[in-house]
Structure 1
């Protein structure tokens, strides 16, 4: 007998037929002799509709506590419907919401972006074993938590995935199954490229990076709750079969991405190349990077404008790069000149919170402005910010932005 956690996303239970198919897949797994804990999201578009209703009716006058209670109605409805359908198929089921004595997920009192109390939740999750041992299929609300005073809380984006992985860990499940509207993890978006192929497996770290940069299959925050000893997979609801192979998520989570601030230990040099309308000329950036790559010169950053390209390289390589690129400029009709700028310092800030932190660039740059530190260039991704400042300001800038990150 195995214990499986099956999480159904909103699209996989988007209407009556889909809910029945989902319930049947759970019952089929149960009839094989396995135990199943079901986690459900709100039925497709329910949460969006609730948000719109609130916006159209009370807008900003709603309190966080009220909003959390309103949003919880989507999952509250889902568990009741799913549990009823499972029972109609001949198997006992019990829905578990934050008002239940067996509710497993406890949080702090930040009702709309609650943080999980791991030890308390792990202890409470054991209560589900009593239900499972009676041959009952528990259906648990995803996304929701219960605060220290019994208030309903929400986990924010990816909350239902978090619920599934946390229960998998706490109950020592054999497998966590994420049921969604795709066959698994694809090589790219199949709606954009028809040749996209399903991956048989993907590592936790690859999945996290893919999710961080926009893939909608699984929320990156949920992966830190994946137990390395527990199998996990992503499958499509279309098959109505929890044994479908889908895409297996393999390997351990190597710990949450650390918040770090790094001052590159060596000076950086700037080479600027100019030319009229150069960005309209296909292949120019490729020519520049190819010349440097062939000579083992690493590029730390590139900034492109309408009539210029600025390249950031290690100072020790600057003279060689300067001469190589000068030869290219001379031979090119599109380029007119280049210059070798002064030495600068490079700061790199990394945090998994950047993707969901509005105003983070402002938070980082304001202390620099207040201390009269000029920013030569700044670039950002969803998890990192890179800042170039004048070399003399490097140490001071490092201390200032480090304080912001901490």
Structure 2
């Protein structure tokens, strides 16, 4: 049996937990299974590293810094496995066998990542690779990250590309529960749950597996969630069944759209990093960013719009290449997620045409390798959601 096991930050949060993780891996290997391991940063290491970036740092430096959490985890776990007589190696960006590759847009290069993952799978008969989750490497060798839930994404993606039988997510919950055990008496583990059910729970706060990771799951790949205290990688927990091609989600709170205009912004090195860092240092979360030749647009929570406008205006005053900032409040975003969605010919027309036919103005569209985000006026959100759901989920 070929298994990709992902250990979350909590499951690697101390020396004892690393020992427990190594024991479960060694047990699975001793039973004749091929195991690849994906490791998150220990505990809250990533947040702690980010908190220590109190200076202006560009995206490349930030990625290098936060990568140290995962880099430390894989070394500790590899050493624990070696101490148990397991032939293990740790893999991180820069290694010749590193499998997760990003393109020049910072998105997963599916063809190259799949090729490298297949090559890595051929070595599983005598080696346990311990792979840094959350990280990717572009074609120039620079580190980038996979975003929120990136270690889950690494695990499920590699499980698919390595033709694994199962991906096991080891976390701090015993799979999916019938209710919050801290609130309701008698809460118990749900033995099975569908991808659709789980994604609906995830978008309402009960995130067990990152929704972005589930886009890589297909019918042939089993995904299971177990508690780090369980001890047996190959049994128990909650099985996640099925697959989805498209997932439609609407953000529950309104956004504000802040557009910074300036002369040839796209050709000004460091402008985007400067503006983004200023927002980050004020703890303003950016939901999405769009850029053009003469503008950069940030979408932030409505309640932080005034703060964001002031911060961006301060940056404009200090930079002669920037001219003004404008704000539009009460914007809704509806996202369609699916594997390689924007790479499908005609997909944008399938999304936009029925919205236009309903005489709804589209404020903006932002795409990535696996999603399309449609921004409309808050008053049009329900009708837009219904139109998109009817097409993709109907």
Fold match by TM threshold 0.5? yes
> How many Å apart are 1:159 and its aligned residue?
0.4
**Larger proportion of strand:** 2
Query: 1:334 — aligned with what?
Result: none
CA contact 2:287–2:299 (8 Å) conserved in 1: no
Q: Does 1:104 pair with 2:103?
A: no
Q: Tell me how far apart the structure 2 counterparts of residues 403 and 78 of structure 1 sit (CA, whole Å).
A: 40
Query: 2:217 — aligned with what?
Result: 226
Deviating more after overlay: 35-44 vs 211-220 = 211-220
Q: Tell me how far apart the structure 1 counterparts of residues 201 and 334 of structure 2 sit (CA, whole Å).
A: 11
What is the TM-score of this pair, normalised by structure 2?
0.66
> How many Å apart are 1:196 and its aligned residue?
2.3
The correspondence for 2:241, drawn from 242, 245, 250, is 250
Q: Does 1:398 pair with 2:359?
A: yes
Q: Tell me how far apart the structure 2 counterparts of residues 361 and 396 of structure 1 sit (CA, whole Å).
A: 29
- The Cα offsets for residues 326-380 of structure 1, whole Å up to 9 and x where unpaired, read as xxxxxxxxxxxxxxxxxxxxxxxxxxxxx94473798xxxxxxxxxxxx9xx897
CA contact 1:177–1:242 (8 Å) conserved in 2: yes
Q: 1:259 to 1:401 in 2, by over 3 A?
A: farther
CA contact 2:202–2:209 (8 Å) conserved in 1: yes
Query: 2:261 — aligned with what?
Result: none
Query: 2:184 — aligned with what?
Result: 193
Query: 1:203 — aligned with what?
Result: 194
Query: 1:182 — aligned with what?
Result: 173
Alignment of structure 1 residues 67-106 onto 2, 5 Å: 67-106=62-101
Q: Tell me how far apart the structure 2 counterparts of residues 403 and 179 of structure 1 sit (CA, whole Å).
A: 38
Q: 1:31 to 1:381 in 2, by over 3 A?
A: same
> How many Å apart are 1:136 and its aligned residue?
1.1
Gaps of 5+ in 2: 251-285, 289-297, 303-328, 337-354, 366-373, 376-394
> How many Å apart are 1:399 and its aligned residue?
4.0
CA contact 1:108–1:115 (8 Å) conserved in 2: yes
Q: 1:151 to 1:192 in 2, by over 3 A?
A: same
**Residue 82 of structure 2: SS of its match in structure 1?**
helix
Q: Tell me how far apart the structure 2 counterparts of residues 190 and 82 of structure 1 sit (CA, whole Å).
A: 30
Query: 1:22 — aligned with what?
Result: 21
Query: 1:50 — aligned with what?
Result: 49
CA contact 2:91–2:131 (8 Å) conserved in 1: yes
Alignment of structure 1 residues 277-296 onto 2, 5 Å: none
**Residue 362 of structure 2: SS of its match in structure 1?**
helix
> How many Å apart are 1:241 and its aligned residue?
1.3
Query: 2:116 — aligned with what?
Result: 124
> How many Å apart are 1:191 and its aligned residue?
2.4
> How many Å apart are 1:401 and its aligned residue?
2.5
Higher-Rg structure is 1
**Residue 212 of structure 2: SS of its match in structure 1?**
helix
Aligned length: 279
CA contact 1:212–1:219 (8 Å) conserved in 2: no
> How many Å apart are 1:34 and its aligned residue?
0.5
**Residue 85 of structure 1: SS of its match in structure 2?**
helix
Q: Tell me how far apart the structure 2 counterparts of residues 381 and 72 of structure 1 sit (CA, whole Å).
A: 30
Q: Tell me how far apart the structure 2 counterparts of residues 71 and 259 of structure 1 sit (CA, whole Å).
A: 29
Query: 2:58 — aligned with what?
Result: 63
Q: Tell me how far apart the structure 1 counterparts of residues 221 and 121 of structure 2 sit (CA, whole Å).
A: 17
Q: Tell me how far apart the structure 2 counterparts of residues 119 and 77 of structure 1 sit (CA, whole Å).
A: 29
Alignment of structure 1 residues 232-271 onto 2, 5 Å: 232-253=223-244, 255-257=245-247
> How many Å apart are 1:195 and its aligned residue?
3.1
Query: 1:299 — aligned with what?
Result: none
> How many Å apart are 1:8 and its aligned residue?
0.3
